[in-house]
Amino acid sequence: MSVRANSPHAKDIAYHLHPYTNCVLHEQTGPHIISGGDGIYVIDDDGNRYIEGLAGLWCAALGFSEPRLVDAATRQLSAMPYYHGFAHKTTPPVIELAERLIEMAPAPMSKVFFTNSGSEANDAQIKMVWYYNNALGRPEKKKIISRYYAYHGVTVAAASLTHMPYVQASFDLPINNFIATDCPHYWRFGEDGETEEAFATRMADNLEKLILDEGPETVAAFIAEPVQGAGGVIVPPATYFDKVQAVLRRHDVLFIADEVICGFGRTGNMFGSQTYDLKPDMITVAKALSAAYLPIGAAMISEKVYQAIREESGRRGTFGTGYTYSGHPAPAAVALETLKIYQERDIVGHVQRVAPRFQQRLGALGGHPLVGEARGVGLIGAVQLVRDKTTREFYDPALKAAPTVMARASEHRLLVRALMNDVVAVCPPLIITEAEIDTLFDRLELALDDTRDILAKAGVAAA
């Protein structure tokens, strides 16, 4: 790529360290600059329009041109641009947002702790779990279990829950007290002849064995996404969460539901916890909380967790954690307006109406020569690329099959995400229409066809 000196592309290469980006490759290719948005579309600096097939990063639920959210931010910035939540201080939108979240929570919650992202919110959950057990006089009960291919953030503690190599390798992670249990992906890890329910039983039994081997007196919490998003859009097998929650109750292990991707309509209910009948003790939200228009996250806690924190803060003189921007009034105001839009426009009902078409088109891709499994729920889905459908053999990572699909999709003006293990994820804004769903999948199918042809020319035919 030729980059003109002193252009925005050259400046980006010179000065910007990108997240989740190969630095060497970035110096060769430069950035793709997105400069505008319109509904489910984003527009680059050359004027090209793309369907944003991953809602940015699973987050732009109302698309990229919602004037009510811009107005909400502007009004709040004019009235009170910033204040903090330390030492009893707060602002009106933060109070109202906390009340609204507690009212709409999918399980009984007592208090909300505000952060600036999902990573920070899960980091706060970890600290509160530890604080809770110290308050109860159980200093040894500190281990937290997450699942392989889980994604819970990238702060030091939250990344210790994110059991994916690229998040932990070279960062000296995980730190102590973080352990992993099975990824409940039936298609990939089910044994020959094993039913889905038998697989779920095995997953729960393995979790219980892990807790017993570690010592229940040392295991504090289990965290799970209702659907594992960045780990591959892994939908839980039937009865899995029923069995897992029974294990947690038997051993007095707190359950944290990470609703950062699933929350606010994505799975066809307001929360993924409702879709899969979860009864968590703590809930993490972010992303669609503000439809991504301003950064905000939140950690919700149950009354029993709050009471322990309350007593310990009394003994210590303070609950000694928080961020400068915890409960920033502008993101809170935008989040409130977002929640109003979800209700007024019946966004959950809209998802329920268009999701059958989305899942129909997604499921049809399971017949493509490159696809071993097409999976999803609501308006989230993924295709799993395989070298051989019968043996479920993956492609050699050096072939970059999923990144090729992502690149070819971009050429067809569709932005999707290539994940590890050759998964291509789709998670459009919730406002997408049936006609737009068809356009999205038409373009994705073209990208899959292109990739099939590219692999065939390289001498790697799908089996």
Q: What one-letter code names the amino acid at 86?
A: F
Predicted TM-score of the model (pTM): 0.96
What mean pLDDT is predicted for residues 371-390? 97
For residue 439, give the nearest of 66, 53, 35 by alpha carbon.
Answer: 53
The separation between CA 348 and the C-alpha centre of its own chain, rounded to angstroms, equals 18
The separation between CA 453 and the C-alpha centre of its own chain, rounded to angstroms, equals 32
Please report the domains of the chain, with CATH numbers, ordered by start residue: 32-65+346-457 (3.90.1150.10), 68-344 (3.40.640.10)
Angle at 176 between CA 303 and CA 229, to 5 degrees: 65
Identify the pLDDT of residue 134.
Answer: 97
pLDDT above 70 (res 2): no
Identify the pLDDT of residue 205.
Answer: 98
Say whether the peptide bond before residue 184 is cis (omega within 30 degrees of 0). no
The two tokens of residue 357 are 């078409």
Q: pLDDT tier at 463 (50, 70, 90 boundaries)?
A: low
Identify the pLDDT of residue 97.
Answer: 98
Judge whether 155 and 161 are in contact, CB under 8 Å.
no
Q: pLDDT tier at 5 (50, 70, 90 boundaries)?
A: confident
Identify the pLDDT of residue 442.
Answer: 98
**Predicted confidence (pLDDT) per residue in 444-456, tens digit:** 999 999 999 999 9
For residue 72, give the nearest of 92, 98, 42, 100 by alpha carbon.
Answer: 92
pLDDT above 70 (res 376): yes
What mean pLDDT is predicted for residues 164-186? 96
Residue 68, class by beta-carbon neighbours within 10 Å (0-12 exposed, 13-18 middle, 19+ buried)? middle
What mean pLDDT is predicted for residues 132-154? 98
Judge whether 415 and 37 are in contact, CB under 8 Å.
no
Say whether the peptide bond before residue 92 is cis (omega within 30 degrees of 0). no
The two tokens of residue 148 are 């392989």
Q: pLDDT tier at 459 (50, 70, 90 boundaries)?
A: confident
**CA diameter of the chain:** 69
Q: What one-letter code names the amino acid at 81?
A: P
Judge whether 344 and 104 are in contact, CB under 8 Å.
no
What mean pLDDT is predicted for residues 395-418? 97
Tell me the residue length of the chain.
463
Beta strand 219-224 with 143-147: parallel, antiparallel or unpaired? parallel
Identify the pLDDT of residue 460.
Answer: 82
In the chain, % of residues over pLDDT 70: 99
What mean pLDDT is predicted for residues 80-87? 97
What mean pLDDT is predicted for residues 97-124? 98
**Predicted confidence (pLDDT) per residue in 160-170, tens digit:** 999 999 999 99
| Average per-residue pLDDT for the chain | 97
**Predicted confidence (pLDDT) per residue in 31-47, tens digit:** 999 999 999 999 999 99
Identify the pLDDT of residue 458.
Answer: 87
H/E stretch holding 382: strand 380-385
Identify the pLDDT of residue 289.
Answer: 98
The DSSP code for 400 is -
151: left (phi over 0), alpha (psi -120 to 50) or beta: beta
**Predicted confidence (pLDDT) per residue in 189-232, tens digit:** 999 999 999 999 999 999 999 999 999 999 999 999 999 999 99
The two tokens of residue 71 are 């107005």
Q: List CB contacts of 419: < 8 A, sequence separation 6 or more.
A: 230, 231, 232, 233, 382, 402, 425
C-alpha 364/C-alpha 441 separation (Å) is 10
C-alpha 226/C-alpha 270 separation (Å) is 12
C-alpha 352/C-alpha 45 separation (Å) is 35
pLDDT above 90 (res 288): yes
pLDDT above 90 (res 335): yes
Q: What DSSP string describes 220-280? A: EEEEE-SSBTTTT-BPPPTTHHHHHHHHHHHTT-EEEEE-TTTTTTTTSSSSHHHHTT---
C-alpha 276/C-alpha 299 separation (Å) is 20
Beta bridge partners of 187: none
